[in-house]
């Protein structure tokens, strides 16, 4: 493993830096130190121009995640620290890098100083470890999503070294990409977690921005439907209300969905019981045939199954069958036992009934009868004894004029418009 170190010493002393690095090499004689280069610059502006500016001419794409490692952990558990760093080190194939910053002392480590807004975690940390992942402008969205997950997973490995210490570099640091709504997760816990993450990042964040984050990480199965309302959703309560509606509708459709072949066979089964009740496989139907006379008999259907979703008119029925040939095949005391009728699962029956309800509620859309729209005009333009203001029409081709004439004739035939009786027309 190769370790590269860069030391920035603002307002430092070159002699002190040399002595410090030389002593570090003596104390770690088992390490093979390569070339060391030390130089000074007169000002921070010169430092920026010389070091930082050339590497960032137009900006670059990078995703960072970081953790503060407590000094006591580094000193007391060096083997564990080395093991974790080896697991989380960068991958040259994807261009990821693990950066380690040694946290200096000074005022930041002065725990009695409460007159600043520095994260207390900096006061006890010795290392600031950063996962860095870059990508090209031509990288696809799928690859970017994969790289983001890789950064998150490597940060999770660093969490093994936290042991209750301050994990983040900043008190408001949070990675919204770490939180997505799971496929079967209710909307409420996801909604609460995203809001908390956004508030950790910015306590004054606008609700519209939070809604955008909620939309980007919500279950993709109904994100499209919810996005149609996004322009009209301005507050969080509205988002929660519509998200619950869309999720409930999605869950109902998913629970009622079945295999298309099974649906086709059930709708084409001729037996009436398939429309009236759902039968448990262990239960059976019986037909008791009573011979009242040689020309007719009555048949009664007995069933002990529940008819919670059935059509009541088809539950018990008595019918007269005028067919003496069929009756002669049985004795007057015989009982015909039919094989169990498999009408499908409970979900199938619920689906059938739901379809019936939908068709009934929307029957107007399936009404094949013709209708004529003939609404009498409510307004009329009265010009008195003078002609109306005339505006010259836009020029139109003969084809356009013919189309307009044909459409006007159709409206006249349907009774939707009537010819003008004005003398000025």
Q: Are residues 187 and 239 in the same domain?
A: yes
**Per-residue pLDDT tens over the stretch 356-396:** 777 666 665 555 555 555 555 555 556 566 665 555 566 66
Residue at which a domain ends, from 173, 191, 213: 173
- Tell me what pLDDT residue 333 has: 42
Q: How far apart are CA 366 and CA 17, in angstroms?
A: 86
Residue 121: exposed, middle, or buried by beta-carbon count in 10 A (0-12, 13-18, 19+)? Answer: buried
Residue 214 vs residues 100, 105, 183: alpha-carbon distances, Å: 33, 40, 15
Boundaries of domain holding 140: 60-173
Q: How far apart are CA 186 and CA 191, in angstroms?
A: 9
- Tell me what pLDDT residue 236 has: 92
Tokens 């960032």 label which residue? 56
Residue 279: exposed, middle, or buried by beta-carbon count in 10 A (0-12, 13-18, 19+)? Answer: buried
Q: Are residues 68 and 141 in the same domain?
A: yes
Residue 39 lies in a domain: yes
- Tell me what pLDDT residue 80 has: 92
Residue 250 lies in a domain: yes
Q: Are residues 65 and 165 in the same domain?
A: yes
Residue 92 lies in a domain: yes
Measured in degrees and rounded to the nearest 5, phi and psi for residue 274 equal -65, -20
Structurally, the chain folds into a number of domains equal to 4
Q: State both tokens at 146.
A: 């994969």
Q: Are residues 35 and 84 in the same domain?
A: no
Residue 396 lies in a domain: no
Residue at which a domain ends, from 347, 368, 392: 347
User: In the beta sheet, which residues pair with residue 65?
Assistant: 131
Q: Are residues 231 and 247 in the same domain?
A: yes
Q: Are residues 156 and 95 in the same domain?
A: yes
Q: Are residues 151 and 95 in the same domain?
A: yes
Q: How far apart are CA 328 and CA 168, in angstroms?
A: 89
Q: Which residues of the chain have pLDDT under 70?
A: 1-3, 55-58, 90-92, 104-120, 163-178, 257-347, 359-396, 422-425
Q: Are residues 39 and 83 in the same domain?
A: no
Residue 274 lies in a domain: no
Q: How far apart are CA 301 and CA 400, in angstroms?
A: 67
Residue at which a domain ends, from 326, 347, 368: 347
**Three-class secondary structure assignment of the chain:** CCCCCCCCCCCCCHHHHHHHHHHHHHHCCCCCCCCCCCCCCCCHHHHHHHHHHHHCCCCCEEEEEEEEEEHHHHHHCHHHHHHHHHHHCCCCCCCEEEEEEECCCHHHHCCCCCCCCCCCHHHHEEEEEEEEEEECCCCCHHHHHHHHHHHHHHHHHHHHHCCCCCCCCCCCCCCHHHCCCCCCCCHHHHHHHHHHHHHHHCCCCCHHHHHHHHHHHCCCCCHHHHHCCHHHCCCHHHHHHHHHHHHHHHHHHHHHCCCHHHHHHHHCCCCCHHHHCCCCCCCCCEEEEEEEECCEEEEEEECCCCCCCCCHHHCCCEEECCCHHHHCCCCCCCEEECCCCCCCCHHHHHHHHHHHHHHHHCHHHHCCCCCCCCCCCCCCCCCCCCCCCCCCCCCCCHHHHHHHHHHHHHHHHHCCCCCCCCCCC
Q: Are residues 289 and 337 in the same domain?
A: yes
Q: Are residues 191 and 156 in the same domain?
A: no
């Amino acid at each position: 493993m190769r370790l590269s170190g860069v030391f920035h010493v603002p307002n430092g002393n070159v002699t002190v830096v040399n002595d410090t690095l030389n002593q570090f090499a003596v104390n770690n004689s088992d390490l093979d130190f390569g070339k060391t280069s030390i130089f000074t610059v007169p000002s921070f502006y010169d430092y920026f121009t010389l070091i930082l500016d050339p590497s960032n001419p137009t900006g670059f794409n990078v995703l960072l995640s970081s953790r503060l490692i407590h000094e006591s952990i580094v000193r007391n558990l060096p083997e564990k620290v080395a093991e974790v760093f080896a697991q989380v080190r960068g991958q040259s194939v994807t261009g990821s890098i693990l950066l380690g910053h040694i946290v200096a002392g000074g005022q930041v480590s002065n725990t009695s100083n409460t007159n600043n807004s520095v994260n207390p975690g900096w006061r006890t940390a010795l290392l600031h470890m950063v996962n860095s992942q870059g990508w090209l402008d031509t990288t696809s969205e799928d690859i970017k999503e994969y790289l983001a997950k890789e950064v998150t997973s490597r940060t999770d490995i660093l969490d093994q070294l936290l042991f209750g210490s301050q994990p983040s570099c900043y008190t408001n640091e949070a990675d919204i990409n770490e939180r997505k709504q799971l496929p079967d997760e209710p909307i409420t816990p996801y909604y609460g977690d995203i809001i908390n993450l956004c508030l950790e990042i910015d306590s004054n964040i606008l609700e519209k921005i939070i809604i955008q984050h909620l939309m980007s990480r919500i279950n993709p199965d109904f994100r499209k439907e919810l996005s149609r309302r996004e322009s009209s959703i301005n507050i969080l309560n509205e988002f929660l209300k519509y998200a619950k509606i869309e999720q409930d509708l999605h869950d109902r459709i998913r629970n009622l969905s079945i295999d298309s072949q099974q649906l086709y066979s059930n709708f084409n089964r001729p037996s009436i019981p398939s429309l009236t009740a759902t039968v448990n496989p262990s239960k059976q139907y019986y037909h008791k045939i009573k011979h009242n006379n040689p020309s007719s008999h009555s048949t009664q259907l007995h069933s002990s199954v529940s008819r919670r979703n059935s059509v009541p008119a088809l539950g018990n029925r008595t019918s007269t069958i005028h067919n003496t040939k069929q009756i002669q095949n049985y004795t007057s005391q015989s009982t015909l036992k039919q094989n169990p009728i498999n009408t499908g699962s409970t979900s199938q029956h619920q689906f059938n009934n739901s379809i019936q309800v939908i068709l009934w509620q929307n029957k107007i859309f399936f009404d094949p009868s013709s209708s004529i729209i003939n609404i009498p005009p409510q307004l009329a333009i009265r010009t008195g004894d003078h002609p109306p203001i005339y505006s010259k029409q836009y020029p139109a081709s003969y084809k356009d004029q013919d189309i307009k004439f044909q459409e006007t004739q159709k409206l006249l035939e349907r009774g939707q418009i009537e010819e003008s009786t004005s003398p000025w027309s």
